[in-house]
Amino acid sequence: MMIATFNPDTARNGDVYRAARLAMLTQQMMRHIERTEASGRRVEQMLAALAEANALMR
């Protein structure tokens, strides 16, 4: 069991801080990946619409 400390030096370099920071960074990274994936899907949809429009023009 990890117990938080009130000593700033120990808190900043302690296991609790590192675990919390890792969890926050992991969540942030997953959010960025999801946004990138959604943007990629939108680009693919727009490219498909463009290809379809070009096919109709020919």
Q: What is the pTM of this model?
A: 0.67
Query: How far is 9 from 37, CA to CA, in rounded Å?
Result: 39
Phi, psi for 15 (deg, rounded to 5): -65, -40
* DSSP-derived secondary structure for 12-28: HHSHHHHHHHHHHHHHH
Query: How far is 26 from 33, CA to CA, in rounded Å?
Result: 11
- C-alpha angle with apex 5: 25 to 1, nearest 5 degrees? 75
> What are the tens digits of pLDDT across the range 6-25?
677 767 778 888 899 999 99
Q: Which residue has the higher pLDDT, 45 or 56?
A: 45
Which two three-digit tokens encode residue 48?
């498909």
